[in-house]
A and B are shown apart, each in its own frame.
Chain A
Amino acid sequence: MKTRFAAEAAANPLIPHTAELIVGFIAFTLLFLVLRKAVVPMFEKAFAARTEAIQGGIEKAERAQAEAAAALQSYTVQLADARGEATKIREEARVQGAAIIEDLRARAQEEAARITAQAHASIEAERQAAITSLRQEVGSLATDLASKIVGEALEDQARQSRVVDRFLEDLESAGSKEKAK
């Protein structure tokens, strides 16, 4: 037969052992303190971090969506602005182009007018020169002719020129009379 430790106490299993009461109290208190100090806060931390991570993710997504919407809005506005700008620039260019064409046309006309005036002036000068030289030549030819005809040498310069002038005046007045008719 096996030896039984404290066999007397076995009679009633409902009677507690002092040693076990003490040990049970100490052991459970120890476990309670360890779990409360080291384990529960850490698990709670993990739970909180998880909740926060999920909520943070949602918030982040919402923020990204808001940012995208804002960006779209700003791009739309910028696009509209750019369109307006382009229209304005085109309009300005048209106006400027028209002005440039107008300016060029005016300048060309001016130039044309200037060239025409110059031509007129040079023609007039040439005509005057022609008249002057013609008058001299006609004078000397007529004098020569007259001296030959009259036989009288009109050597005196002054007399010669007087005769020529009188002749020319006659011619001119004849011409003007003829014109008046």
Chain B
Amino acid sequence: MRAFAFEGGFVPPSTADFNLPPAFGNSEFTTKPILLVFLSVILISVFFIAASRKAAVVPSKLQFAGELIYGFVRNDLGKEIIGAEFMRFVPLLFSLFTFILTNNIFGIVPLLQFPAMSHVSFPYVLAAFPFIVFHWVGIKKQGLGHYLKGIAFMPGVPKAVYVLLTPIEIATFFLVRPLTLSLRLFANMFAGHLLLLVFIMGGDHLIKGVIGLKLVAPFSFTLGIVMTFFEFMVQCLQAYIFTLLSALYIAGALSDEH
């Protein structure tokens, strides 16, 4: 495992650092990411139920904050992209956005400090929801045969091109879309967390070293803090992109022409 062990015993962070021991007990269901995921569900539910409970015409500060996030997903991601039938998909988009955003931000929250989305299982599951929804919507709207035909044989293209285009299109709709959706999120969170580990653990190691190395340690920590802010941006951006692409896929399935 520790083939890259540096002289002086520095162990660089690796993929193994993402496999945390169970927080308690000895079950696979009590690991940190799983507990964080449940925590996020509780936090999001409590926050938004508290914010929306009164549904007042003149909102309180809490309701205003909730409406800001909800309104952003509803209008900028739902209404703008999906169009007339957007209201049906708002709950899904809203859940995706808040769930991903909260779990991502857990990555830089002190004590929690672990993005659950850096475990690929969660992005896989999350990508499955819009994947199933946009295919289901397309089939329901256009009929199974017409929908599949529209994917495999894009209209308005010379017949010879189908040799090349058909496999690409099929792969796009059934493999590339869900995979890129989940892997983009996973890879960003994974790499981001790894980056923070490098700077923080590196700094930690440097400060224990000889005097010359001690002087360099603050730079490592500073960069670690800078990267934390950068990570915050990436975490918000990834939640936005995931939801945006889901909305775009649904909008594409809803529109008649491919």
Q: Which residues on A are within 8 Å of B, measured CB to CB?
A: 1, 3-7, 9-11, 13-21, 23-25, 27-28, 30-32, 34-36, 38-40, 42-47, 49-50, 53
Interface positions of B from 27 to 77, Cβ below 8 Å from A: 28-29, 31, 33-34, 37-38, 40-41, 44-45, 48-49, 51-53, 55-57, 59, 63, 66-67, 70-71, 74
Distance of A19 Cα from B14 Cα, bound (Å): 22
Question: Are B124 and A31 in contact (CB-based, < 8 A)?
Answer: no
Can you give 27 contacting A-B residue pairs, CB < 8 Å?
Answer: A5-B19, A5-B31, A7-B19, A10-B14, A16-B124, A20-B31, A20-B33, A21-B124, A23-B37, A23-B38, A24-B37, A24-B124, A27-B38, A30-B41, A31-B41, A31-B98, A32-B95, A34-B41, A34-B45, A34-B49, A35-B95, A36-B95, A38-B52, A43-B52, A43-B55, A44-B87, A46-B52
Within the complex, what minimum Cβ distance (angstroms) separates B14 from chain A?
A: 8
Chain B residues contacting A46 (CB-CB under 8 Å) are: 52, 55-57, 59, 63, 67
Q: Does B173 have its Cβ within 8 Å of any Cβ on chain A?
A: no
Question: Are B55 and A13 in contact (CB-based, < 8 A)?
Answer: no
Within the complex, what minimum Cβ distance (angstroms) separates B27 from chain A?
A: 8
Distance of A46 Cα from B34 Cα, bound (Å): 34
Secondary structure dominating the interface of B: helix
Within the complex, what minimum Cβ distance (angstroms) separates B236 from chain A?
A: 18
A45 and chain B: residue at smallest CB distance:
B55
Task: State which of A11, A15, A16, A32 has its C-beta within 8 Å of the C-beta of B91.
Answer: A32
Chain B residues contacting A23 (CB-CB under 8 Å) are: 29, 34, 37-38
Chain B residues contacting A3 (CB-CB under 8 Å) are: 21
Q: Which residues on B are within 8 Å of A, measured CB to CB?
A: 1-2, 14-16, 18-22, 28-29, 31, 33-34, 37-38, 40-41, 44-45, 48-49, 51-53, 55-57, 59, 63, 66-67, 70-71, 74, 87, 90-92, 94-95, 98-99, 119-122, 124-126, 129, 183, 186, 190
Distance of A39 Cα from B73 Cα, bound (Å): 13
B44 and chain A: residue at smallest CB distance:
A31
Distance of A157 Cα from B125 Cα, bound (Å): 170
Within the complex, what minimum Cβ distance (angstroms) separates B66 from chain A?
A: 7
Question: Are A1 and B2 in contact (CB-based, < 8 A)?
Answer: yes
Distance of A10 Cα from B17 Cα, bound (Å): 8
Distance of A28 Cα from B119 Cα, bound (Å): 15
Question: Are A35 and B63 in contact (CB-based, < 8 A)?
Answer: no
Distance of A149 Cα from B169 Cα, bound (Å): 182
Chain B residues contacting A28 (CB-CB under 8 Å) are: 41, 95, 99, 125-126, 129
Chain B residues contacting A11 (CB-CB under 8 Å) are: 15
Within the complex, what minimum Cβ distance (angstroms) separates B190 from chain A?
A: 6
Chain B residues contacting A38 (CB-CB under 8 Å) are: 45, 48-49, 52
Distance of A4 Cα from B125 Cα, bound (Å): 25
